């Protein structure tokens, strides 16, 4: 998966953590996938002890906006993932896209196929009717 514009689908699933958002557009005719990467100074959330500052790596200020842009063509979205990034994206999308039918669910680190399966189940696409 690389960062690119995804094919437009009405339904999408986003799995997000502090490093990447995996975006899967899901339709009856197939699945499109893309990834939006955060631009951080370090992949680790915390610096080592005895450093100046609060010890946290600065967040990428454009990350949530770029994820929102990646799902701009969808009307139904499932947001899953570990940590607080899922909640931050949900709040951002509620403010920026009030028309979006938003669903949120827990998820640790599923495979891409498991993410797509969760989306198909949530949106009742495929054999899960």
DSSP label of 97: -
pLDDT > 90: what percent of the chain?
61
pTM, 2 dp: 0.81
Looking at every residue in the chain, the average pLDDT score rounds to: 83
Distance CA 92, CA 45 (A): 21
- Asked whether the predicted pLDDT for residue 52 surpasses 90, the reply is no
Cβ–Cβ contacts within 10 Å for residue 44, how many? Answer: 11
Which of residues 87 and 54 earns the better pLDDT score?
87
pLDDT at position 60 is 78
pLDDT band at 6 (very low <50, low <70, confident <90, very high): very low
**If pLDDT is split at 50, 70 and 90, which confidence band does 129 have?**
very low
pLDDT value at residue 48: 54
d(CA 20, CA 1): 11
Say how many C-beta atoms besides its own lie within 10 A of residue 43's C-beta: 9
pLDDT digits (tens, 9 = 90+) for 20-33: 999 999 988 889 99
Per-residue CA distances from 21 to 16, 34, 49, 52, 112 (Å): 4, 8, 29, 29, 12
Residue of higher predicted confidence among 1 and 99? 99
Question: What is the tens place of the pLDDT at every residue in 65-103?
Answer: 999 999 999 999 999 998 789 999 999 999 999 999 999
Q: Which residue has the tokens 């979006």?
A: 100
């Amino acid at each position: 998966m690389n960062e690119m514009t995804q094919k437009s689908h009405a339904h999408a699933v986003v799995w997000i953590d502090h490093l990447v958002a995996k975006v899967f557009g899901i339709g009856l005719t197939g699945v499109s996938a893309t990834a939006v990467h955060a631009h951080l100074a370090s992949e680790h959330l915390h610096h080592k002890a005895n450093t100046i500052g609060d010890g946290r790596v600065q967040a990428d200020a454009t990350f949530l906006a770029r994820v929102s842009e990646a799902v701009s063509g969808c009307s139904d979205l499932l947001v899953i993932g570990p940590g607080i990034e899922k909640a931050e994206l949900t709040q951002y999308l509620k403010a920026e896209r009030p028309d979006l039918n938003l669903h949120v669910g827990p998820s640790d680190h599923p495979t891409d196929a498991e993410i797509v399966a969760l989306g198909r189940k949530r949106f009742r696409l495929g054999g899960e009717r």
